[in-house]
Amino acid sequence: MAGGRLEYILKVDSKGRILIPSEVRSMLNIKGVVYARVVDGKLIIEPIRDPIDLLTSSVIRGTSDVEKEIRELRRVAVEEVLKRVGERWSL
């Protein structure tokens, strides 16, 4: 489906949750956490790679900028911590 387009009508439940169809989750490799933002009145949801996967792929392929990759891993980790804290204490 390179360059293709899928369209769905999805229901938003009373808690604001949307169920992403399994074929979409599989295609985009969405697991537990996604990155969401609003741009020009549109909700954009993107998968976030697991920091361990990022680290593993860096080690396998090598890296030219270790500090940059560490900063990225920290950013992802901080986002995940803030998300979990927000869920736990309803922030």
- What is the per-residue pLDDT across 22-51, written as a single tens digit (0 to 9) for each? 999 998 888 877 888 899 999 988 887 766
Q: First vs last Cα of the chain: how many Å apart?
A: 38
pLDDT digit string (tens) for 47-66?
Answer: 877 666 666 666 666 666 77
Cβ atoms 36, 17 nearer than 8 A: no
- What pLDDT sits at residue 59? 64
Structure tokens at 39: 């741009």
Asked whether the whole model's pTM tops 0.85, one would answer no
